[in-house]
Structure 1
């Protein structure tokens, strides 16, 4: 969340935004995977019937999972009144508050909701010791720390994040068969262990160390055995494999299955939309967006409109894309993704042929005060400061390829011509765009040729993301072909490039891929 310390908080938040909050809706959605290996130096855990949420808390948790927070709070009210120190309703109530903060990023709600989190921790101190009590205390401590980091209270946020992490380690040691703790600890371990080297100084300062493989093993334990958090654990595991290991199949299957089983679950639709968007299935993502459940019972999620605006931009529907992003900026209470939305408004107006004054107004919106911590905002701000116009042919081809319209992208690229005045950036981007289109079409030899050409044109020090991303993709292609030495060469090459707009995520993926090759 900030250029230095706070960026680590946003990296962790991105991984843990669901992980510390959302519980299992009782869907039978196993990932159909082989039994996991045990975490380091431990035997696999085959738990007896675990300490569970109460029936009313479980019903409320299912409503939190659907993003119907008002309904969840009403269901919890009687139990909280009759048993004010009971861990199950306190945990679920905290999940509802925490997810509200994460989804809305409404600063006007922060003080009250953070105070409620601290009050629940005080109440748990008076509860009898148990696995669920200790787990709830560690989980709520993590919620509090992440809430504080989100709203830039860095010292206290770092303190509570460190405390919650160590508490969760202690819960696993004391109650090794309690699978919910494996779920959260595994997610923490993966988040900490996969951060780029540039943040390791802060991890050392906080006293946090972890192995991402150990985190995945703990997550798999919670994903493969029945517990109140099994579906949640399956989601995290599938999303990590999709986002960091280039293995999208189970995430696509899982999100399709979840929405089929629970068509009234807005979270599941969010996952279906975002997964299809990342996998360049714009038509499927838009269909899911239009089919999502809606109504006053659901927590408003303005970010959905921002995603829809991207999808419409990929299709060339510039007017509707503009309308969705304007609605996002109107309704959203947070600060992140505003620069990205302004950049996309600029693209829609520019490519859609709007008056120059409108195009200039949207471009100036990028530079309004606000954080540029997430990579999309950073890219938009960098574009603004670079003050070099985009090439319309390459821009259209990029958007088409991002949506999975690869034949159209190649057709668009036919019109690109290099002249002595062509910018170095555009000379690098052109073969990269061809490579991504051929990759999307499954024409891997052509993709490899143009990825290699991208790096040749860029050289080792071009300050753009095209060459490092090309190297990363070549690593994945070689890995899929079973050629580990070549894969290792290109993953390392991706790491060696200097600063670029997506260096954090590119480096994290390359590092994890190299670890997997071992």
Structure 2
């Protein structure tokens, strides 16, 4: 059973924390309580506490920082571009209040950097890359200045670590070139080391209340940005300290479980998540529960997807939800409903995020082969033996199209790879590459990267380099930017 954080009495916590730096950067007990509620996703309670602080101490410049945290997590959970456009106007007024305050406080530059960084992370979800790049540049500059002025202020490392990883992992393109123009560069390994050290050190310091925020960013980076092989282990280790009353903890743990083949654990976490009106509505968790249940070929997952569509107020994940519902119909051999749901995947929702872009691509592609669909879902859930059984019941000749032949070999490679059967995986990946290298599908390029990873593990760096470069050489296929970036990170690891 996970350990819980036992909250210190607030008067004692307040006396221990080095937060009260000046009269107008007053991270007092009420602000600490608001901050803690934000990171449990109890945003309504946090808003009440912030309102009370505003009445008691209107000049406290911690208030605009806390208000920005509330907007940030509200927008993350609601996934609404309309709400983003409405709330984005708050940014300048908050920065204006802070900029007029005490320049000798470590929170003066830090709070401005944090607000810029939060808006950049949200803005990037909607394709506003130039504005996001400017905000990242501004945040990076402020944090570096603050580091020089206050080298022992550990919160600088949180933002600098995040910037290092995000920028270091960006594929070549507009965002990366813009940041390079600003002189902002990143390094994935440096950023990971910074955040890992902070995660270890904070619980032993008086800055322990910031622990949950650090772990939130670190978990996101491990799973989504760096795709770190220890993403699951590290996330579960570091989130174990967080109180079970935190809905954000549920999200972090369920997400990393779902991304790393711990499907049953993800289902258990999501089904037992804290509930009630005290929590910010988070429709994504219904969507995620549908995904992990379908990975187990549980067709009752449709109820979770339907629940998501009912309560969701944003535009993201809608196309992917209809695609999953279409798959359920296909697994039921209901081709009429499958076609109708694919039509909805094409017409409803937005295409800001990769999941929805890919869902639209798949909705326009030929019908999925049932064997390959089952194997794909089972693999995603970590049910490797079941996936191998499904794939082994078919031969390459059973698949008629080039796409299906390439995918069959690729899926066999993924399963064998995860089962530790490197030689079999290499043979499968090579077949997938040979069949699919002239196609728009991602199987060939991804197979090349994965072969590079295997040879890297075997210390055969010459072959690893060759396959990473082979992946980069393939163009005009699905996931081109992310696969190319994976290959470049591989070359960087082996000094290629």
Interval of TM-score (by shorter of Structure 1 and Structure 2): 0.7 to 0.9
Does the residue aligned with 1:225 lie in a helix, a strand or coil? Answer: helix
Query: Which structure carries more relative contact order (alpha carbon 8 Å, separation 6+)?
Result: 1
Q: 1:135-161: per-residue Cα shift (whole Å, max 9, x none)?
A: 112211333444455556666555444
What is the rounded CA distance, in whole Å, between the counterparts of 2:345 and 2:367 in structure 1? 14
Relative distance call for 1:508 and 1:206 in structure 2 (3 A) is same
Deviation of 1:121 after TM superposition, in Å, equals 1.6
Q: Determine if the alignment matches structure 1 residue 342 to structure 2 residue 319.
A: no
Structure-to-structure mapping, 1:110-125, within 5 angstroms:
110=84, 112-125=86-99
Deviation at 1:367, TM superposition (A): 1.2
> Which of 368, 372, 391 pairs up with 1:390?
368
Secondary structure (helix, strand or coil) at the match of 1:229 reads helix
Do residues 137 (structure 1) and 112 (structure 2) align? yes
In structure 2, relative to structure 1, the CA distance for the partners of 1:489 and 1:136 (3 Å cut) is same
Q: Partner residue of 1:79?
A: 53
Q: Which of 92, 114, 119 is the equivalent residue of 2:66? A: 92
Equivalent position of 1:34 in the other structure: none
Moved more, 156-165 or 122-131: 156-165
| Residue 187 of structure 1 pairs with residue 198 of structure 2 | no
Q: Equivalent residues in 2 for 1:199-214 (5 A)?
A: 199=174, 200-204=176-180, 208-214=184-190
Could you tell me which residue of structure 1 aligns to residue 24 of structure 2? none
Work out whether 1:301 is the aligned partner of 2:276: no
Q: Residue 427 in 1 paired to residue 405 in 2? A: yes
Give per-residue Cα distances to partners, 1:215-243, cap 9 Å, x unaligned: 33443453343335344334534553455
Change in 2 beyond 3 A, CA 1:179/1:451: same
Query: How far does residue 463 in structure 1 lie from its aligned partner after superposition?
Result: 1.7
> Alpha-carbon deviation of 1:337?
1.8
Deviating more after overlay: 179-188 vs 504-513: 504-513
1:448–1:420 distance in 2 versus 1, CA, 3 Å: closer
What is the alpha-carbon distance in structure 2 between the residues aligned to residue 284 and residue 512 of structure 1? 30
Structure 2 distance, partners of 1:154, 1:437, is: 36
The answer on 1:58 being equivalent to 2:32 is yes
Output the aligned Cα RMSD.
Answer: 2.8
Q: Give the distance between the partners of 2:466 and 2:164, measured in 1 at CA.
A: 27
Equivalent residue runs for 1:452-491 within 5 Å: 452-458=430-436, 460-491=437-468
Q: Is the 8 A contact 1:396 1:409 kept in 2?
A: yes
Select 1:258's aligned residue among 239, 242, 251: 239
Ranges in structure 1 where 5+ consecutive residues have no aligned partner? 1-24, 29-47
User: Equivalent of 2:250, from 252, 260, 269?
Assistant: 269
Aligned equivalent of 1:412: 390
Q: Does 1:240 align with 2:221?
A: yes
Distance 2:271 2:388 in 1: 29
| CA contact 1:51–1:178 (8 Å) conserved in 2 | no
Q: Tell whether the 8 Å contact from 1:219 to 1:233 is kept in structure 2 after alignment.
A: yes
Partner residue of 1:502 out of 469, 479, 489: 479
Q: Which residue of 1 aligns with 2:301?
A: 321
8 Å CA contact 2:117–2:136 kept in 1: the answer is yes
TM-score, scaled to structure 2: 0.86
- Pairing partner for 2:337 from 358, 379, 382: 358
Q: Which moved more, 1:294-303 or 1:255-264?
A: 255-264
What do residues 410-468 of structure 1 show as CA deviations (whole Å, max 9, x unaligned)?
2212332444971001111111111112223233332222122222322x433211122
Say if 1:265 and 1:445 are closer, same or farther in 2 by CA, change over 3 A.
same
Deviation at 1:482, TM superposition (A): 3.3
Instruction: Report the CA distance shift for 1:253/1:111 in structure 2 as closer, same or farther (over 3 A).
Output: closer
Aligned partner of residue 347 in structure 2, secondary structure: coil
Residue 311 (structure 2) pairs with residue 331 (structure 1): yes
Q: Equivalent residue for 2:195?
A: 219
How many residues of Structure 1 are paired with residues of Structure 2 in the alignment?
A: 471
Work out the CA distance in 2 between the residues paired with 1:243 and 1:27. Answer: 30
Tell me: CA distance 1:379–1:229, structure 2 relative to 1, closer, same or farther (3 Å).
same
For residues 381-415 of structure 1, give each alpha carbon's deviation from its aligned partner in whole angstroms, at most 9, with x where no partner exists: 222333x2221111111111111112211221233
How far apart, CA to CA, are the structure 1 residues paired with 2:295 and 2:314?
Answer: 25
How far apart are the structure 2 equivalents of 1:229 and 1:475? Answer: 38
What CA distance in whole angstroms lies between the structure 2 residues aligned with 1:317 and 1:27? 38
Task: After superposing the two structures, state which structure 1 stretch, 234-243 or 61-70, moved more.
Answer: 234-243
Q: What is the alpha-carbon distance in structure 2 between the residues aligned to residue 86 and residue 371 of structure 1?
A: 39
Stretches of structure 2 lacking an aligned partner (at least 5 in a row): 8-15, 21-26
Q: Does 1:279 align with 2:255?
A: no
For residues 216 and 459 of structure 2, what CA distance do their matches in structure 1 show? 27
Q: Deviations over 1:39-81 (max 9, x none)?
A: xxxxxxxxx9865643322222111111111112222233222
Equivalent pair of 1:346/1:363 in contact (CA under 8 Å): yes
Shift of 1:257: 5.6
- What is the distance in 1 between the residues matched to 2:138 and 2:292? 40
